[in-house]
Structure 1
Amino acid sequence: MSRRYDSRTTIFSPEGRLFQVEYAMEAIGNAGAAIGILSKDGVVLVGEKKVTSKLLQTSASTEKMYKIDDHVACAVAGIMSDANILINTARVQAQRYTFAYQEPMPVEQLVQSLCDTKQGYTQFGGLRPFGVSFLFAGWDKNFGFQLYMSDPSGNYGGWKAAAIGANNQAAQSMLKQDYKDDMTREEGVQLALKVLSKTMDSTSLTSDKLELAEVFLSPTGNVKYQVCSPETLNKLLVKFGVTQPAAEAS
């Protein structure tokens, strides 16, 4: 039935579905997972790295985590070439707002602006939807710490905990059971690593397969985005019982 209506993004099926957008979401379901958790003192982002070659210069590049502005970062699941275009677009929008108003762009306004761009690619002929989903983590003076999830349709929503990518439904169910409103950032890291360890296809978690980033306020009150080093991440995996010390040594 779908073959008659999935040749273009502008054609609705009789059930009111846009199949090309749904296909883009399916592509994201095959990508490495990412989890975001909102805590009372920050936002935690954890992602599964698919590229684990020994030759990769991991210290110089990240596969899942990107800084958009001093107060906003994101985790990505999907086609990275599509993600790069949208991330650069978001960075330009954030800087234009700062230049015009001399203050950081509100997080939700930035997310909505980017989602408007994504929505346009589902509406006009000759274009295809961006095959990427985002988890946005940020802080602003209006609403404090925030976590948003967006998909190829241009939809977005604020979440306390969210998962995108492979096995996201299973991860979302576990987050729904274990999330607590008064979690600290450390408890958020523990929950994210626990959920990822149970939903990833890999049998053992190491720093080679994960990326961890946090958005929080420094003691001086400035927003800080920090990517966890591989050494610290290995220690956290052992500390929270996700992996055993023996496995780390080997």
Structure 2
Amino acid sequence: MSRRYDSRTTIFSPEGRLYQVEYAQEAISNAGTAIGILSEEGVVLACEKKFTSKLLDDEGSTEKLYILNDNMICAVAGMNADASILVNRARVTAQQYLKTYNEEMPCEMLIKRVCDVKQGYTQHGGLRPFGVSFLYAGYDDRYQFQLFTSNPSGNYSGWKATSIGANNSAAQTLLKKDYKNDLSLKDACDLAIKVLSKTMDSSNMNSEKLEFATLSLSKQHEGKVIQKIWKDLEIDALIKDTGVLDEKNQDDD
């Protein structure tokens, strides 16, 4: 039945569905899990890397994490080529706002501009939706730390903790169970690792399979936002500190 209605993004099915948008969301559900957690001291983004190889020179580069401007970073799930187009669009938009008003663009305003582009690709013939979802971590003077997610339809929403990608339902269940409003940044990092350890397919969790980033405020320079994409040694130390590998080994025994 769907074949009659899925050849164009502009055709609604009798149930009011846009199948091309649903196909894009299905592509995202096969991507690596990405988790975002909001704390009182900052925001944590943690991602599962699907493609790993010892021959890959990934020093200084990331597969799932991008810096948008001085106040925002994002994690992606889905088609990285589509993500690159939207990330570049967001960067240009943020710099144009900074040039015009001499201040960083508010987080939600930037996200809305990107979502306007995504929505436009669902209502014009000859186009297909972007097959990527985003987790945005940002800070501005009005709303402080913020966490947003957006999907291929152009919808976006704010969250305290959420996930996108594969095993999304399981990750959401674990976050609902363990999330607390008064989490510190360290607690949020530990929670992200624990949730990923239970949703990832791999039994051996290490820095080759993870990307990790935090957004926080500098203690030395008031109001300065620190965007930190963690190095492999730091990720391995965090995994060891949380003890998730020991818990997994005990479960296997």
Sort the TM-score into its range (normalised by shorter chain).
Answer: over 0.9
1:120 maps to which residue? 120
SS at match of 2:163: strand
Distance between the aligned counterparts of 2:23 and 2:135, measured in 1? 20
2:80 matches 1:73 = no
Q: What does 1:98-177 correspond to in 2, within 5 Å? A: 98-177=98-177
Moved more, 212-221 or 81-90: 212-221
How far is the alpha carbon of 1:242 from its aligned partner?
1.4
Distance between the aligned counterparts of 1:70 and 1:19, measured in 2? 37
Moved segments of 4+, more than 4 Å: none
2:178 maps to which residue? 178
Distance between the aligned counterparts of 1:107 and 1:184, measured in 2? 22
How far is the alpha carbon of 1:151 from its aligned partner?
0.3
1:201 maps to which residue? 201
Distance between the aligned counterparts of 2:236 and 2:63, measured in 1? 18
SS at match of 2:136: strand
Distance between the aligned counterparts of 2:169 and 2:184, measured in 1? 24
SS at match of 2:57: coil
Distance between the aligned counterparts of 1:203 and 1:71, measured in 2? 35
Give the TM-score of the pair, scaled to structure 2. Answer: 0.95
How far is the alpha carbon of 1:243 from its aligned partner?
2.0
Distance between the aligned counterparts of 2:98 and 2:61, measured in 1? 26
Which 5+ residue runs of structure 1 have no aligned equivalent? Answer: none
Deviations 1:137-158 (A, max 9, x none): 0100010000000000000000
Query: Which residue type is aligned with residue 228 of structure 1?
Result: W
Deviations 1:62-118 (A, max 9, x none): 011100001000001000000000000000000000001000000000001100000
SS at match of 2:213: strand
1:233 maps to which residue? 235
Deviations 1:42-72 (A, max 9, x none): 0000000112111111213101110000100
SS at match of 2:238: helix
SS at match of 2:245: coil
SS at match of 2:105: coil
2:56 maps to which residue? 56
Give the TM-score of the pair, scaled to structure 1. Answer: 0.97
How far is the alpha carbon of 1:2 from its aligned partner?
1.2
Which 5+ residue runs of structure 2 have no aligned equivalent? Answer: none
Distance between the aligned counterparts of 2:171 and 2:201, measured in 1? 12
SS at match of 1:208: helix
2:96 matches 1:93 = no
Distance between the aligned counterparts of 1:225 and 1:90, measured in 2? 17
Q: What does 1:11-26 correspond to in 2, within 5 Å? A: 11-26=11-26
Query: Which residue type is aligned with residue 231 of structure 1?
Result: L
Identity of aligned pairs, percent? Answer: 60
Deviations 1:138-189 (A, max 9, x none): 1000100000000000000000001000011110111111110110111101
SS at match of 2:228: strand
Query: Which residue type is aligned with residue 237 of structure 2?
Result: K
Distance between the aligned counterparts of 1:201 and 1:8, measured in 2? 35
2:245 matches 1:243 = yes
Deviations 1:111-139 (A, max 9, x none): 01100000000000000000000000010
Distance between the aligned counterparts of 2:185 and 2:17, measured in 1? 39
Equivalent pairs, count = 246
SS at match of 1:57: coil
Query: Which residue type is aligned with residue 239 of structure 2?
Result: L
1:42 maps to which residue? 42
